[in-house]
Structure 1
Amino acid sequence: MKGLYSALLVPFDNEGNIIESGLRQIIRQNIDVQNIDGLYVNGSSGENFLMNTDQKKRVFEIAKDEAGNDIKLIAQVGALDLTEAIELGKFATSLGYDALSAVTPFYYPFSFEEIKYYYNAIIEATGNDMIIYSIPALTGVNLSIQQFDELFENKKIIGVKYTAADFFLLERIRKAFPDKLILSGFDEMLIQAAVSGVDGAIGSTYNINGRRARQIFELAKQGNIEEAYKIQHETNDIIEQVLALGIYPTLKAVLSTKGIEAGVVKRPLSPLNDDGLEQVKLLVSKYNL
């Protein structure tokens, strides 16, 4: 399960329906052009928490059908409704997904015992491997090294998608759990994560910039830090502009310039205006995206 994974984008029409042909095109773009090792399906970048259960299942189906066994597939099934999370986990497992992932429960102030129950319940119901999705900035859940230790007592919890800027904690996790999978979730800090010993990364910008990410990761692993930083600097110039415009509509607009049916974001997220679309064209041209 090591390597670089794109956090798969999902194209929607103006009514919020999945553009299925466009989703297949985005998957092929990731496999054939960006040369990623796998897809992280129905995560934040897929606007998962704006979709209903049937839409989430359809995305899982299309991704597996289009990718086949060519790459690794991780199904993000986390939901506030544990029943839905288990239903999605069973469904993805039946399709042959290599592992499940689940965001830590959010919104309500869940205790650690409740969080542990949530993960163990999904695992027990599905029998699949689990990758914790830790993203404190969006969930408000900050897991400690002791809590990771307790979660990892379940052998089916094989690792963590670590989307946090606390590199001290990342180093402590790496040292304490050398056999667990650590996938970094911050595209803009890929080089720092690689130097810290992560096994790979999951990124939304890899949908359009996976080849640069590959260079950064491999150069850093080889110890060529200076060259890796040059590419990270350029990557962060891209990311800075993407974030300023709005990450998900901008990534879709970049894909649209390539003739891909990337659609729009799902409401209430806002699409780009005409000025934003013009800036995307300049971005694509400047960085050869």
Structure 2
Amino acid sequence: MKGIITALMVSYDQDGNLNEKGLREIIRYNVDVCKVDGLYVNGSTGENFMISTEEKKEIFRITKDEVKGQVPLIAQVGSVNLREAIDLAKYATDLGYDALSAVTPFYYKFNFNEIKHYYNSIINAVDNKMIIYSIPFLTGVNMSLDQFAELFENEKIIGVKFTAGDFYLLERMRKKFPEKLIYGGFDEMLLPATVLGIDGAIGSTFNVNGQRARQIFELGKQGKIEEAREIQHVTNDLISEILDNGLYQTIKEMLKEKGVDAGFCREPMEKLSEERIAKARSIAKNHL
């Protein structure tokens, strides 16, 4: 489960209902066009924290059915509701997902013992593997090197999706845990993370920019830093334009420009104005 892994986008219709046809088209675009190495399902990019348990299960089911073993699948099952997380972990494991992931529990400012209990409770309930999803700027949960080490004492916890800007901690983790999988989570910092020895990256912009991400990753691994840096510059120009226009909404409009029924975002995310839709389509024409 190394390499470039897309944080999978999900298609919803104008009323916010899951659009199965569109989801299948997004999956196919990622696998067939972007040529990614795997899919990370029901993460932030899939608008996971705004949908019901049953909708999450349906997304897991559709994705597994559409992929048919072509690439590895990681199921993000994390939730503030531990019972829901365990239920989703069992469901995804029964479907045959290659690994689980779970965001650190958030909102209530849980202490580390509670966080450790959360991870061990989820992964010990199933015959599967766990990848910690660390995203401090959204959860407010910052863990130290020693705390990661304590979590990694559970052999079923095999790695971390590291969506943080603390590259000193990233370097320390790489040195201390050579056997664990470390995934970069910031697409705009893929090259420096690659130089520090990550095993792969999980990102939202890979839904449209997966091929360039692979080039950056592979060139970085080969030590061809100048070449990789030029592609990172192009990628970051693209990312800047996407962020200025609205991250998830813009990626969906870019996918539509490529013939993919990517749908809309769930409320309370806003729908783009006609002007911003035109901007998104222009970004796609200029960069894809």
Query: Normalising by structure 1, what TM-score?
Result: 0.99
Equivalent position of 2:268 in the other structure: 268
Counterpart for residue 104 of structure 1:
104
Residue in structure 2 matched with residue 248 of structure 1 by the alignment: 248
**Deviations 1:92-122, CA, capped at 9 Å, x for gaps:** 0000000000000000010000000000000
Q: Assess if the C-alpha contact under 8 Å between 2:8 and 2:42 holds in 1.
A: yes
Look up the match of 2:49: 49
1-structure distance, mates of 2:22, 2:31: 14
Structure 1 residue runs of 5 or longer lacking an equivalent are: none
Letter paired with 2:277: L
Q: Report the 3-state secondary structure (helix = DSSP H, G, I; strand = E; otherwise coil) of the residue aligned with 1:202.
A: strand
Of 82-91 and 278-287, deviating more is: 278-287
Q: Runs in 1 of length 4+ with deviation above 3 angstroms?
A: none
Partner of 2:67: 67
Structure 2 matches for 1:175-254, cutoff 5 A?
175-254=175-254
1:81 corresponding residue in structure 2: 81
CA distance in structure 1 between the aligned counterparts of 2:281 and 2:84, rounded to whole angstroms: 40
> How far is 1:185 from its partner?
0.4
Aligned residue in 2 for 1:160: 160
Is structure 2 residue 125 aligned with structure 1 residue 125?
A: yes
Letter in 2 for 1:264: F
Q: Which letter does structure 1 place at the counterpart of 2:75?
A: A
SS of residue paired to 1:126 = coil
Correspondence for 1:137: 137
Paired with 1:256 and 1:267, the residues of 2 have a C-alpha distance of 19
SS at match of 1:60: helix
> Residue 193 of structure 1: CA displacement?
0.5
Which amino acid letter does the alignment assign opposite residue 136 of structure 2? P
Amino acid at match of 2:34: Q
Aligned twin of 1:14 = 14
Residue identity matched to 2:245: L
Q: Which moved more, 1:149-158 or 1:256-265?
A: 256-265
Which region of structure 1 is more displaced relative to structure 2, 254-263 or 194-203? 254-263
- What is the match of residue 5 of structure 1? 5
Paired with 2:163 and 2:261, the residues of 1 have a C-alpha distance of: 29
- Matched residues in 2 for 1:185 and 1:52: separation? 25
Aligned-partner Cα distance in 1 for 2:94–2:230: 43
Q: Quote how far apart the aligned CAs of 1:127 are.
A: 2.2
Whether 1:171 aligns to 2:171 is: yes
Aligned equivalent of 2:282: 282
Q: How many angstroms apart in 1 are the aligned matches of 2:271 and 2:174?
A: 39
| CA distance in structure 2 between the aligned counterparts of 1:252 and 1:279, rounded to whole angstroms | 12
Alpha-carbon distance in structure 1 between the residues aligned to 2:285 and 2:35: 21
Per-residue CA deviations over 1:54-107 (Å, capped at 9, x if unaligned) read 100000000000001110000000001000000000000000000000000000
Q: CA deviation at 1:285?
A: 1.7
Q: Give the SS at the match of 1:6.
A: strand
Identity %: 60
Q: Deviation at 1:15?
A: 1.4
Tell me whether 1:92 sits opposite 2:92 in the alignment: yes
Residue equivalent to 1:259? 259
Instruction: Please give the alpha-carbon distance, in whole angstroms, between the structure 2 residues aligned to 1:251 and 1:285.
Output: 12
TM-score by length of 2: 0.99
Contact 2:3 2:214 in 1 (8 A): no
Identify unmatched segments of 5+ residues in structure 2.
none
2:164 is aligned with what amino acid?
A: A
State the aligned residue count.
Answer: 288
1:12-45: CA deviations, max 9, x gaps? 1121111100000000000000000000000000
One-letter code aligned to 1:112: F
Q: Secondary structure at the match of 2:131?
A: strand
Measure, in 2, the Cα distance between the counterparts of 1:204 and 1:174.
Answer: 23
